[in-house]
Amino acid sequence: MGQGATEYLLILAAILVVVAVAVYYVTKVPGAPTIVVKVWVKPDNTVWIRGETGCTKTNWVFYYMKAGETAWHGPVTHDIGPGQWIQLPDLTGQVAPGDVVTLKWDTIVENYIVNRYTA
């Protein structure tokens, strides 16, 4: 392969990279708002999630399940913000501190370790 062909291929590769980056940014779907929560089990065995600092979303729609389950509970629609609590009634008496609860919203699925709540 001659020098001209090599230069042509390098220029073509550079153009493809630029086009790929442009397509990525043009078609990129904005990410979901940051949802920062912790899962708590209270002394009466009710299970709650609490919004933490930086967590603000209105009409948050989510599903949940405990580890080992295959079916989602929900949907639950609720506003969430720092210090706000949302009960997960289907898990009352079914999880303990250290267990895992999975939350799903938009395209996000996250696992949370259950904490013991003591007031």
Q: What pLDDT digit, counting tens, does each position of 65-78 carry? A: 999 999 999 999 99
Multiple choice CATH, 37-116, 1.20.120, 4.10.280, 2.60.40, 3.40.50: 2.60.40
Name the residue with tokens 């999975």: 102
CB 80 within 8 A of CB 38: no
- Which amino acid does the sequence have at 117? Y
CB-neighbour burial class of residue 48 (10 A; exposed 0-12, middle 13-18, buried 19+): buried
- Within 13 Å and on the Cβ side, how many CA atoms surround 31? 4
21 vs 53, more confident: 53
Q: What integer is the mean pLDDT of 31-51? A: 85
Q: What pLDDT digit, counting tens, does each position of 94-112 carry? A: 999 999 999 998 888 999 9
- In the chain the first and final C-alpha atoms are separated, in Å, by 75
Domain boundary assignment for the chain: 1-30, 37-116
Q: pTM of the prediction? A: 0.68
